Structures are given as structure tokens and as C-alpha cells.
């Protein structure tokens, strides 16, 4: 393949010296100039080639980097039904996917009681009720992704699953200014590992289920609704409720709040609940922060890199995605508290801890190890080679004499 200088000279019609390939000296012996139309056409092709050769490789490299960041994830998403804690805390969660229902009444009750909850919104619901979506976000409540159309996610293909999540996220940000990440709740509670991996790749490392189902959507009487929730709540629990008009939440919710408060319970958002999570069975969850490496995480918890890889079935140890949740096998059930005071499960390193060097500020995840950098360069080089071959073939078809 000729170099760029030779290529442009040929496209522009500059004569070449047969021996060296360099531009021939312009003299009386030079061939007559091409017609003005030919010069104009070749000049246009040259300009197009120059812009293409400069701009598209950059775009290809960016695409390669983004793709690698999305594909290399640290295991499936973590399914959360409750957290292990001795504290009397409970997270009330409301799904919004049908009508506006009692949303405003529920927000008023929560505000009057000084309680913050978590709302899982569908994209269609946000479309239909943007003012309520804004009110939820401005009220200090947590928000999560409940898909766009509330489908059976395990029956969709990969592209459809990704679309359900990304469309809802984009709509939420546009309407309320709040991202729904990192929380995803599957419609109907239907979930499998395939959906979990795709959700994690889209920025949802935590699939939120529940420990108490209020069954409010069945229009059960308020007394039964109150009993189902109050009698089944345990420390660290997550309660499933709905905002729809078929529920009796306006009558039941004040009583639920009152009775649980009398039992000593404190109401928290999902993010507050997960921050209180205590390890069980000798493991602790850790959310990967930008700049983290497996080595830095292993040092933080005094465990081996291989034990983290094995516990999470990590496919590519050189690349982690920020936001992915790792299971850390803490020896002897020591509680998983980072020795330097970091907060387990929140992704926050302790004071003065290693944050991964070169990839520290890269939101796409760790690229700080030498093998990670080489892998990125290899992927980019492959993309560029494919592109150059395509451009060269196109130019040969457009300008046969090159």
C-alpha cells in the first residue's frame, strides 16, 4: 500500500519519477495539464481522501475503546432482595408503569412524614407523566429503571433488552435530569443471568428485587395491605409497592409508616440501604470505582487476585467496568472492612489507597495495567487496519489509475 504522500500525488495527477517515485520536476518536458474538469474532480477526491484519512481513524479508535468497555464486564449483575444488617431499616420501593394513579398522594404522604423512598419508572410512564417524574426526582427519592414497555425481558433478544434500558434512561435524563443508574428492576420479577450481564453492561450492576411483596396491585383491602407489609418486614428489607390507581396505598401507607416507626424502623432509600450492607458467609460486595484494578482491590481486602477472579467468573482480568459489583471472598468472614477505612460495597477507597494510576479518571473502567493498555492498543490497531483497507479499496475503484 503506498504512503499518504504518494496516494495524494496520484489522485491529484502529479507526475512521478519512475525510479524514485518522487514528484518529477516541473519543466518544459512536463505533460500538458489535464482539463479543468478533471483537475476539479481529482481535487475533490483528494480533499475527501484527506478528511477521511484524518477523521475516520479517530472515530474508529473511539468506537473500539467504547465497545471494549461495554463488552468486558466483571461478571453478571448482583441480584439484591435485602441486605444483611442488624439495624432496623427498611426501603420502600414503588413501581410506576401503568397510570398516574396515586403517585401525587403517595409523594405528599412521604413528604409529610419526612420519608424518602425509591421509585422504579418505565419509559412509557415518564412519557405520559413527565411532571410526576420530575416531582419524584426533586423530592430526593431514589429512582431506578423499570424498562420502557414493561415486557417479559427474558424472552427478548440482546438488542431489544438493551433498547428497553437505554430508551428509558435517556427519557428519564431528558425529563428529570436524573439518571436511573445503577438500579434496575425486572418487570414481573423475571430475570436470568443473560439479562443480568446485559443490564450490567448498560450500567445497571444491581438488579433490585424485594423481600416483602405487598400485593397491592391486586386491590386487596387496606387492612390486609398493612398487615402484609408490617408483619413481614425484617431489618434490611425491601418492600415492593405500586403507585397505580388499583391500589389502596392512600389509606394504607400512613398506617404502614406509623406502625413500622413504632416498631423502631427507620425508612431509607435503596442507596442508603445498600451502604449499610454487612457481609455474610465470608464475602462482601464491592462496587468497582473508576481507576480500580483487581490488584488494588485485592490489596484493600487482603485477598488474592485469583480468589476474586474465581468468585466472580471474570472473563478478562485486565479490564473492569466502573459500576460492576464484585464478590470479595474475605478470609474468615472478617467483615470485609478495607484496612484503610474504605466503605465496602460503595466503591469508595480509603484514604491514600491506590486508585489505579493511568486509568484513574477514565469512567469506562480500569486500563491502568500494562496488559490492559496493550489490549486497548491492539483493539484500536485492528480497527484502524480494517478501516485503511476499506478506504484504499474504495479509492482504487474511484480512481483506477492509482
Q: Find where cell 464486564 sits.
A: 73
- For residue 261, which of 104, 92, 141 has the smallest C-alpha distance? 92
Q: Would residue 150 show up in a list of annotated catalytic residues for this protein?
A: no
Check 95, 142, 292, 318 and give the catalytic one: 95
For Cα atoms 364, 366, 367, give the angle at the middle one, nearest 5 degrees.
Answer: 100
Q: Give which of 284, 285, 300 is closest to 335, Cα–Cα.
A: 284
C-alpha to C-alpha distance for 257 and 247, rounded to whole angstroms: 16
Beta strand pairing call for 212-213 and 266-268: unpaired
SS3 content of the chain, % helix, strand, coil (to 5): 45, 15, 40
Question: C-alpha distances in angstroms, 173 versus 98, 177, 300?
Answer: 20, 4, 34
Query: With contact defined as beta carbons under 8 Å apart, do 402 and 396 qualify?
Result: yes
The one catalytic residue among 150, 216, 242, 292? 242
Asked if 248 and 109 touch (Cβ cutoff 8 Å), the reply is: no
- Alpha helical stretches, state H, 270-352: 270-275, 294-301, 305-312
Q: Which of 75, 104, 78 is nearest to 270 (CA)?
A: 78
What SS3 class is residue 285?
strand
Helices (H), 177-293: 193-201, 222-230, 249-262, 270-275
d(CA 166, CA 162) in angstroms, rounded, equals: 6
Neighbours of 93 (CB within 10 A): 26
Residue 95: active-site member: yes
The residues assigned a catalytic role are 95, 242
Amino acid at each position: 500500500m503506498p504512503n499518504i504522500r504518494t496516494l495524494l500525488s496520484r489522485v491529484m495527477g502529479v507526475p512521478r519519477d519512475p525510479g524514485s517515485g518522487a514528484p518529477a520536476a516541473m519543466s518544459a518536458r512536463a505533460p500538458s495539464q489535464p482539463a479543468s474538469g478533471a483537475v476539479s474532480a481529482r481535487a475533490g477526491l483528494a480533499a475527501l481522501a484527506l478528511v477521511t484519512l484524518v477523521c475516520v481513524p479517530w472515530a474508529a479508535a473511539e468506537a473500539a475503546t467504547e465497545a471494549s468497555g461495554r463488552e468486558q464486564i466483571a461478571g453478571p449483575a448482583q441480584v439484591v432482595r435485602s441486605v444483611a444488617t442488624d439495624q432496623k431499616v427498611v426501603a420502600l420501593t414503588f413501581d410506576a408503569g401503568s397510570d398516574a394513579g396515586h403517585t401525587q398522594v403517595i409523594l405528599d404522604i412521604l413528604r409529610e412524614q419526612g420519608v424518602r423512598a425509591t421509585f422504579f419508572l418505565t419509559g412509557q410512564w415518564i412519557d405520559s407523566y413527565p411532571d410526576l417524574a420530575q416531582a419524584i426526582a426533586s423530592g430526593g427519592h431514589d429512582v431506578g429503571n423499570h424498562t420502557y414497555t414493561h415486557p417479559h425481558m427474558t424472552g427478548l433478544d440482546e438488542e431489544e433488552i438493551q433498547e428497553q434500558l437505554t430508551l428509558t434512561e435517556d427519557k428519564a435524563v431528558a425529563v428529570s435530569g436524573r439518571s436511573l443508574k445503577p438500579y434496575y428492576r425486572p418487570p414481573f420479577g423475571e430475570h436470568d443471568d443473560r439479562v443480568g450481564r446485559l443490564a450490567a453492561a448498560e450500567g445497571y450492576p444491581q438488579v433490585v428485587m424485594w423481600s416483602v411483596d405487598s400485593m397491592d396491585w391486586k386491590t386487596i383491602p387496606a387492612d390486609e395491605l398493612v398487615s402484609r407489609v408490617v408483619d413481614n418486614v425484617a431489618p434490611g428489607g425491601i418492600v415492593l409497592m405500586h403507585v397505580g390507581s388499583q391500589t389502596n396505598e392512600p389509606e394504607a401507607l400512613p398506617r404502614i409508616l406509623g406502625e413500622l416507626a413504632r416498631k423502631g424502623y427507620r425508612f431509607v432509600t435503596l442507596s442508603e440501604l445498600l451502604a449499610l450492607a454487612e457481609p455474610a458467609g465470608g464475602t462482601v460486595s464491592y462496587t468497582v470505582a473508576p481507576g480500580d484494578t483487581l490488584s488494588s482491590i485485592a490489596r484493600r481486602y487482603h485477598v488474592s487476585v485469583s480468589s476474586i477472579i474465581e468468585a466472580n467468573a471474570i472473563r478478562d482480568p485486565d479490564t473492569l467496568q466502573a459500576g460492576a459489583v464484585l464478590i470479595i471472598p474475605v478470609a474468615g468472614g472478617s467483615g470485609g472492612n478495607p484496612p484503610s477505612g474504605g466503605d465496602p460495597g460503595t466503591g469508595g477507597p480509603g484514604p491514600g489507597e491506590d486508585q489505579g494510576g493511568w486509568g484513574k479518571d477514565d469512567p469506562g473502567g480500569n486500563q491502568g495495567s500494562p496488559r490492559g493498555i496493550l489490549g486497548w492498543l491492539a483493539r484500536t490497531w485492528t480497527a484502524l487496519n480494517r478501516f485503511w483497507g476499506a478506504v484504499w479499496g474504495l479509492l482504487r475503484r474511484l480512481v483506477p489509475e492509482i
